[in-house]
C-alpha cells in the first residue's frame, strides 16, 4: 500500500488521503445507480474511518454532509449484502497478495441490542434468559478471513444480519428433528461454509491459460472454523464433499457421536487411543486466576461418524463422515481449575501426525479473532448506539461499522506481523505529525532531517498509549480495543494540529 502511486481523490484534502485511499480500495467499485452516490459512499466511509464509533453528525464536517450521509442511506440499492459483496473482492485481493498457503474462514454469531429503539420495526428477540425474553435486537453471523500461520486479518467474507423469528405454536416432542436444516436458523453455518467455498474458487487459475504464461500458484487451502455450535452433521457432510477442492472444516466437538460399525462412541474411542505426545502452554492470568503453566496430553485418531438416527429416519440421509478427532487434555489441573482444559477438535482434514494435531490446535486457537472482532464492533464502533429509524437504514450502517472494525483489526495485526512497515500505510501524514508532536512533548527536539520516518509498530504503540496501554513488560502487545480508543483521541489531537500548525505562504 503505497501513497506515491495513488492519485488524489476528488473532494478530499491531502490530510485524509490514506483513509480515503483505503475507502476507495474497499468500496470504489460499488454501483448505486448514480455516480454521485458512488462517490459519496467512498467519502462517508472515509470519514467513518477517521472517527470510529462516532455518530453521523460527529464524523461529518458540516450539517450539509450529515444530511447527505442520511440521504445516502435511503438509496434503495444500498444494502448490507451489497457492501459485503464489494468488500469481499478487496479482502480476497489482499489474501492473494499475502501469498498465504492456508486461510481460516472463522465464523460465529453475536447479538446486537436495540431494545431501546421503540420505533424500529422488524427486530427480533436476542434474549436467552427466560426471565427477560423480550429483549429486541439483531443477530449477526460473521465470517472473518485471516491467515492460518501468520498474524494477518484480511477482512470479512460476508455476514448475515437477521432478526430471530418469534416462537411459533407449541409442537410435539421431536418436531424440530423432522425439519430440514434449510428451515432452521442453523443454516447460517452452511451459508458461511458456502462463502469459504466461493472464496476458494476465486483463487482458482483460469480454465484456459496460454502456454507462454507462467504456471499459476497453487490456490490456498481454506479452513472454515467454528465453535461447538458448529458441530452439525449437515455441515460436516457438506465440507466432506468439497475436501478434494481445498476446503476444510475445523470445529470443537459438542456431541459424543456414534461411530459407524463400532459400539464405542466418539469420545470413548478417543480416550482409548494412544497418547501421541504432550504440549506445554503458558496460560495468562484471567478472571481472577493467576498465570500458570499447563501440560496437555495430545491424542488423535481417524474416525467414521455414523449418520445420526434422526437424520436417517426423518431426512433419509445415508452419508457417513470421514473425519479426524484431536484431543488436548490438561493433566493434574491445579485446585480450583475444575477438570482443567479439554479441547476436542473435529475436522474433515487428515490428521495423521503429532505435528498435524498441534497445527489443528494452533488454527483453532485463532478463533478468538472473531470474538475480538465482535467486541470491537459493539464497544469500539458502538454499533448498538446507532439511532436509525428503519432496518433499511440500520443494516447498511451496521455493515459500514463492521468494515471499520476490520480496518482496526488489520492495523493491529499488521503491527504485530510487520512492525517495520511505514506508518503511512495506515495513517495520514497529519496524523503521524500530530502523533510525533504529542509524543515529543517535553522531550529534547530531534532534527527533522535525521529522524527516520515513523514505523507502523512505533505508531501503534503510541496510539495504544493514548488508549490507556501502559506498555509494561507483562502487558503484551496492544490489542485492538486500546487501539480504537487511542484512534479516537488521535482524531481529536490531529484536528487541533491541523488548525494550529504553521501554514506555508507563497509570494
Domain of 10, CATH number, reads 1.10.246.40
Residues 477, 158: Cα–Cα separation, whole Å? 28
Asked if 426 contacts 459 with a C-beta cutoff of 8 angstroms, the reply is yes
175 within domain boundaries: no
Q: Identify whether residues 68 and 135 lie together within a single domain.
A: no
270 within domain boundaries: no
Q: Identify whether residues 434 and 477 lie together within a single domain.
A: yes
Q: Identify whether residues 102 and 157 lie together within a single domain.
A: yes
Domain of 395, in residue numbers: 83-165+185-202+219-227+367-417
Phi, then psi, of 161 in degrees rounded to 5: -105, 120
Check residue 131 and give its pLDDT: 58
Q: Which three cell numbers stand for residue 97?
A: 497478495
- Helical segments of 327-378, H only: 354-365, 368-375
236 within domain boundaries: no
Task: Give the chain's domain count.
Answer: 3
Q: Angle at the Cα of 272 (from 267 to 278), degrees rounded to 5?
A: 90
Phi, then psi, of 106 in degrees rounded to 5: -90, 125
Q: Identify whether residues 102 and 192 lie together within a single domain.
A: yes
User: What's the pLDDT tens digit per position in 415-453?
Assistant: 887 888 888 777 878 888 888 888 876 565 554 555 567
Check residue 229 and give its pLDDT: 96
Domain boundary among 78, 97, 118: 78
Written as tens digits, the pLDDT of the chain (507 aa) is 333 333 344 444 443 467 788 899 899 999 999 999 999 999 999 989 888 888 999 988 899 999 999 999 999 999 999 999 999 999 999 999 999 999 999 999 999 999 988 888 899 999 876 656 688 999 999 999 999 999 899 999 999 999 988 766 666 666 777 889 999 999 999 999 999 999 999 998 876 655 555 566 789 999 999 999 999 999 999 999 999 999 999 999 999 999 998 888 999 999 999 999 988 877 666 656 676 778 889 999 999 999 999 999 888 999 999 999 999 998 776 666 666 788 999 999 999 999 999 999 999 999 999 999 999 999 889 999 998 989 999 999 999 999 999 998 888 888 887 888 888 777 878 888 888 888 876 565 554 555 567 888 888 888 888 888 887 766 777 777 778 778 878 878 887 887 777 665 544
Asked if 461 contacts 475 with a C-beta cutoff of 8 angstroms, the reply is no
Q: Which residues contact 71 (CB under 8 A, 6 or more apart)?
A: none
Q: Identify whether residues 39 and 139 lie together within a single domain.
A: no
Check residue 426 and give its pLDDT: 78
Q: Identify whether residues 14 and 150 lie together within a single domain.
A: no
C-alpha distances in Å from residue 322, one per residue of 89, 193, 227, 259, 301: 33, 18, 19, 10, 11
Q: Which residues contact 494 (CB under 8 A, 6 or more apart)?
A: 428, 430, 431, 434, 435
Q: Identify whether residues 115 and 71 lie together within a single domain.
A: no
292 within domain boundaries: no
312 within domain boundaries: no
Domain boundary among 78, 107, 132: 78
73 within domain boundaries: yes
176 within domain boundaries: no
Q: Identify whether residues 98 and 157 lie together within a single domain.
A: yes
pTM score over 0.85: yes
56 within domain boundaries: yes
Q: Identify whether residues 104 and 191 lie together within a single domain.
A: yes
Check residue 5 and give its pLDDT: 37
Check residue 9 and give its pLDDT: 43
Q: Identify whether residues 458 and 496 lie together within a single domain.
A: yes
Q: Identify whether residues 412 and 479 lie together within a single domain.
A: no
Check residue 282 and give its pLDDT: 72
Q: Identify whether residues 398 and 484 lie together within a single domain.
A: no
Amino acid at each position: 500500500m503505497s501513497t506515491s502511486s495513488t492519485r488524489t481523490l476528488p473532494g478530499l484534502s491531502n490530510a485524509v488521503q490514506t483513509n480515503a485511499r483505503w475507502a476507495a480500495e474497499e468500496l470504489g467499485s460499488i454501483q448505486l445507480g448514480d455516480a454521485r452516490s458512488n462517490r459519496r459512499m467512498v467519502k462517508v466511509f472515509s470519514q467513518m474511518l477517521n472517527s470510529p464509533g462516532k455518530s453521523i453528525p460527529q464524523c461529518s464536517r458540516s450539517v450539509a454532509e450529515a444530511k447527505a450521509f442520511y440521504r445516502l442511506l435511503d438509496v434503495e440499492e444500498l444494502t448490507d449484502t451489497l457492501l459485503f459483496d464489494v468488500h469481499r473482492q478487496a479482502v480476497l485481493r489482499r489474501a492473494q497478495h499475502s501469498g498465504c498457503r492456508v486461510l481460516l474462514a472463522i465464523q460465529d454469531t453475536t447479538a446486537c441490542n436495540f431494545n431501546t429503539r421503540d420505533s424500529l420495526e422488524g427486530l427480533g428477540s436476542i434474549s436467552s434468559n427466560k426471565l427477560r425474553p423480550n429483549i429486541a435486537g439483531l443477530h449477526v453471523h460473521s465470517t472473518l478471513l485471516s491467515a492460518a500461520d501468520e498474524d494477518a486479518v484480511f477482512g470479512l467474507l460476508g455476514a448475515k444480519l437477521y432478526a430471530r423469528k418469534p416462537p411459533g405454536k407449541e409442537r410435539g416432542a421431536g418436531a424440530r428433528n423432522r425439519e430440514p436444516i434449510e428451515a432452521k436458523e442453523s443454516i447460517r453455518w452452511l451459508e458461511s461454509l458456502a462463502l469459504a467455498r466461493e472464496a476458494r474458487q476465486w483463487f482458482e487459475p483460469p480454465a484456459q491459460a496460454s502456454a507462454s504464461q507462467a504456471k499459476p500458484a497453487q490456490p490456498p487451502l481454506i479452513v472454515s472454523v467454528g465453535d461447538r455450535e458448529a458441530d452439525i452433521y449437515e455441515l460436516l457432510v457438506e465440507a466432506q464433499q468439497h475436501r478434494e477442492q481445498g476446503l476444510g472444516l475445523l470445529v470443537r466437538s459438542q456431541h459424543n457421536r456414534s461411530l459407524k460399525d463400532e459400539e464405542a462412541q466418539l469420545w470413548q474411542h478417543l480416550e482409548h487411543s494412544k497418547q501421541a505426545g504432550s504440549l506445554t502452554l503458558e496460560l495468562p492470568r484471567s478472571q481472577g486466576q493467576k498465570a500458570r503453566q499447563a501440560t496437555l496430553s495430545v491424542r488423535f485418531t481417524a474416525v467414521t461418524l455414523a449418520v445420526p438416527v434422526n437424520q436417517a429416519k426423518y431426512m433419509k440421509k445415508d452419508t457417513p463422515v470421514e473425519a479426524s478427532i484431536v484431543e488436548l487434555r490438561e493433566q493434574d489441573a491445579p485446585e480450583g481449575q475444575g477438570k482443567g482444559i479439554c479441547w476436542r477438535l473435529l475436522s474433515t482434514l487428515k490428521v495423521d501426525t503429532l505435528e498435524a494435531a498441534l497445527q489443528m490446535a494452533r488454527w483453532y486457537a485463532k478463533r478468538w479473532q472473531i470474538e475480538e472482532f465482535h467486541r470491537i464492533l459493539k464497544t469500539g464502533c458502538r454499533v448498538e448506539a446507532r439511532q436509525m429509524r428503519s432496518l433499511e437504514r440500520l443494516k447498511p450502517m451496521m455493515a459500514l461499522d463492521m468494515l471499520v472494525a476490520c480496518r482496526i483489526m488489520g492495523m493491529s495485526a499488521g503491527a504485530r506481523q510487520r512492525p517495520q512497515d511505514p506508518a503511512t500505510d495506515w495513517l495520514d501524514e497529519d496524523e503521524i505529525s500530530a502523533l510525533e508532536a504529542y509524543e515529543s512533548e517535553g522531550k529534547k527536539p530531534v532534527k527533522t532531517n535525521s529522524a527516520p520516518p515513523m514505523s507502523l509498530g512505533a505508531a501503534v504503540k503510541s496510539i495504544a498509549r493514548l488508549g490507556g496501554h501502559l506498555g509494561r513488560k507483562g502487558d503484551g502487545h496492544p490489542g485492538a480495543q486500546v487501539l480504537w480508543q487511542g484512534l479516537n483521541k488521535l482524531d481529536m489531537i490531529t484536528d487541533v494540529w491541523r488548525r494550529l500548525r504553521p501554514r506555508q505562504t507563497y509570494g
